[in-house]
Structure 1
């Protein structure tokens, strides 16, 4: 039986998956999950469209590519075991122009290099066969792309942790971390009551706040989280069956977001979205007001203004969709013409925790920072949820290697 104590900051799907992985690898260990929200999956995990990505877009050999493919298999098996709805509805990435056709072929090359099963390039007739209401010149078909309820998965993971004796501290904000190299002491403010918790090892999976929490443990200033909002609209009930699966545009390589798409949800609803625009608040899900601290953090960032200067055209386009639902829906109607003039209802937006480096470049791959007895997941945007169980395996392996070095007498600072 293990005598280690582990702390996990963040009760989203990745934090819950890490905590569960540690219970499996270290039976009897003391495991505590800490989150400032009042329930699990309150942030990115509970504010997304529920797509299980197959691994189409990611640079072959990258952490994203490897952990996404491994994560799909783990997630599917876990969902089946826990009776969480999981549907392989399939996905089309559709080109409308000759330029986009070339991009689709590039995505197909990446997908095959990443080992995505059964992907194929299809023409207009096959597009209509798969999705009778969709149009396009060329499309990549990914039949195993799936949909799921990530919040339900997170609750199941956390139940596994607590049933194994782990603790879950909610309404508990981390305000300080003492990272001595021998142990970690985390100061927590739980609804005004301050307490300290000592751990042999700490893992930070704090999503939108991960850069700030990592810096408390001695982490670097960059990459810094810049929040991007993503608005969703739910189509009127008469449009629920317009598609059999998912229809996506071809992403613009100059702007690293996937664009407005049509997404079937496991409850049968059909969503349009998300767009991508700077959020004036890391947790401003309803869109009311401005988060002063978060906004000033962006305004005074030279890196952000470097990024903005390179993306003015894309920002103007995205802003139009932010203020006009008609324009927002028109983007989807280009792929499914019968949606022209469709009615929809806005739902709670999502906010993407996107890491940015000091040069104003959005960081594409997952980023892990090692700080002695602290491991911080500094960047885990999409497909972070898809990859969650694989990320947990990867982080737990790194932790085991660090603990092994410490046990063998290697100085803690050598474990990177």
Structure 2
């Protein structure tokens, strides 16, 4: 099988790890990674607490447990070689009552079956020897649990891809696929710099490179682009401009087959069709003024917060901003051909279901976004916690699990405080995206999930809307934590895959069509297992191509 051109859509940790795996197996192949953001790890990979999962609570013998074990085997030596920060600090899960203690014993049994090294139960009087400030009736201690910087890890993987000759095209939004017998054509459009989504408070180590259009940054040392590369890029642009008009004007639809999930945002479609009409400009201006007033009202009520901007009414991740920001959105670039490839791998995370539909695949499972708010504590509390302290997972309430972590900078990170997001890329604390809200509301699976978890969700409402209530919940097992020293930190948005029956999918699933492979869902701790998951993704993608 001859493979010379491979594209990866998505520059999160999984997409970059998959690209690196391809360069290892096919060193002569030309690898291109596309992402609409400005840099690697712009979304989920760059907005975590940094915990390296040790596989405590995974079903023994499951594919996820095997991926975690294999992932750690690959991850730890790689980080040592690449110089990525990694600190083994131990993890302590704390039970506060008999029900939690019973669940903790079940987790301990699974951890032993998964051969997690050194894991043990701690009685009440033994807990203080590990974490002096912690209170509880029973503890589960995993001494080799660790923390890292997943943004820095992704940047290191990206450096490997570049060193192998790979290219990153940031600011390029993929919007469609033309799947043929032995190749795939990508369609998309450039994302203007002021519209490219980027989350506030990204984890330390994020590169911040701006390789728009084609990769101009080279490796991390900042090597300059050669003349041959510039000539090739100019030829690519010239060829793109000469493409067939039928391809240029290929009709776009905002609905997939059988009326499924929108392929592109309906707001974008309306702008493309009516953007030059006076009535549409007036309606858009009025809507923008209204959303600005709503946002300003919220900002004035709560007071300004670091990192928030009252002018970002549509949120950092609004697909088109959904509000004027000094430039008419009717100027959105037209769709164009991004290239034709032998193999295409899509690791799009929050946009996985939409790109699957754009490729003509089933809309299920759908992505429901959940916001993960983190808080930080000032330096006065850093000695209160030595490593990672977490609550006991509760299966009927999957989003109530929280932890307090002593980070690489010795500050404390609390969270996540998780609730349904108002946008797939809404990192602004006052931000929202009407198209994303509509998408969630249209999902039958989401409403079934909401009904199934209504009781536990009701109990968790107060901590979700009140920082004080959230911190009080953590102080149940760390009473010495000073609530006055806690302030809002980073915000992440988690891509939760969900079936039409409202069941959460916490495993690696992929959908294939010819030479196209789309990753639909990944395990919760996918960052830890990224190198192992990349092996599996590439296995499946190239197995498909061999047929």
TM-score normalised per structure 1: 0.94
User: What is the rounded CA distance, in whole Å, between the counterparts of 1:86 and 1:345 in structure 2?
Assistant: 25
After TM superposition, give the deviation of residue 248 of structure 1 in Å: 0.5
Say if 2:93 and 2:392, in contact at 8 Å, map to a contact too: yes
Say if 1:277 and 1:318, in contact at 8 Å, map to a contact too: no
User: What is the rounded CA distance, in whole Å, between the counterparts of 1:356 and 1:369 in structure 2?
Assistant: 15
Say if 1:64 and 1:365, in contact at 8 Å, map to a contact too: yes
After TM superposition, give the deviation of residue 340 of structure 1 in Å: 5.2
Partner of 1:396: 538
Pair 216,185 (structure 1): closer, same or farther in 2 beyond 3 Å: same
Say if 2:447 and 2:502, in contact at 8 Å, map to a contact too: yes
User: What is the rounded CA distance, in whole Å, between the counterparts of 2:129 and 2:476 in structure 1?
Assistant: 18
After TM superposition, give the deviation of residue 2 of structure 1 in Å: 6.4
Say if 1:62 and 1:365, in contact at 8 Å, map to a contact too: no
After TM superposition, what 4+ stretches of structure 1 lie above 6 angstroms from structure 2?
Answer: none
Say if 1:352 and 1:381, in contact at 8 Å, map to a contact too: no
Partner of 2:211: none
After TM superposition, give the deviation of residue 3 of structure 1 in Å: 4.1
Partner of 2:372: 230
Query: 1:138 and 2:280 equivalent?
Result: no
Partner of 2:74: 74
Say if 1:36 and 1:174, in contact at 8 Å, map to a contact too: yes
After TM superposition, give the deviation of residue 399 of structure 1 in Å: 2.7
Partner of 2:152: 152
Partner of 1:332: 474
Query: 1:302 and 2:406 equivalent?
Result: no
- Higher deviation after alignment, 301-310 or 55-64: 55-64
- Higher deviation after alignment, 141-150 or 394-403: 394-403
| Secondary structure at 1:240 match in 2 | helix
Say if 1:277 and 1:315, in contact at 8 Å, map to a contact too: no
Say if 1:231 and 1:347, in contact at 8 Å, map to a contact too: yes
Partner of 2:428: 286
TM-score normalised per structure 2: 0.72
User: What is the rounded CA distance, in whole Å, between the counterparts of 1:37 and 1:332 in structure 2?
Assistant: 34
User: What is the rounded CA distance, in whole Å, between the counterparts of 2:178 and 2:112 in structure 1?
Assistant: 45
Partner of 1:413: none
After TM superposition, give the deviation of residue 171 of structure 1 in Å: 0.6
- Higher deviation after alignment, 309-318 or 137-146: 309-318
Note the 1:228-377 alignment, pairs <5 A.
Answer: 228-257=370-399, 259-339=401-481, 341-377=483-519
Question: What is the number of residues matched between the two proteins?
Answer: 405
After TM superposition, give the deviation of residue 217 of structure 1 in Å: 1.8
Say if 1:276 and 1:318, in contact at 8 Å, map to a contact too: no
Unmatched 5+ stretches in structure 2 = 192-332
Give the alignment's Cα RMSD to 1 decimal: 1.5
Give a deviation string over 1:344-381, Cα, whole Å, max 9, x none.
11012111100000101111222222222111111124
After TM superposition, give the deviation of residue 342 of structure 1 in Å: 4.0
Say if 1:303 and 1:358, in contact at 8 Å, map to a contact too: yes
| Secondary structure at 2:384 match in 1 | coil
Query: 1:50 and 2:192 equivalent?
Result: no
Say if 1:90 and 1:145, in contact at 8 Å, map to a contact too: yes
Give a deviation string over 1:121-173, Cα, whole Å, max 9, x none.
11122211000011111111111111000000111101111111111010110
Partner of 1:380: 522
User: What is the rounded CA distance, in whole Å, between the counterparts of 1:226 and 1:345 in structure 2?
Assistant: 27
* Higher strand fraction (1 or 2): 1
Unmatched 5+ stretches in structure 1 = 407-416
Partner of 2:197: none
Partner of 2:290: none
After TM superposition, give the deviation of residue 24 of structure 1 in Å: 0.3
| Secondary structure at 1:178 match in 2 | strand
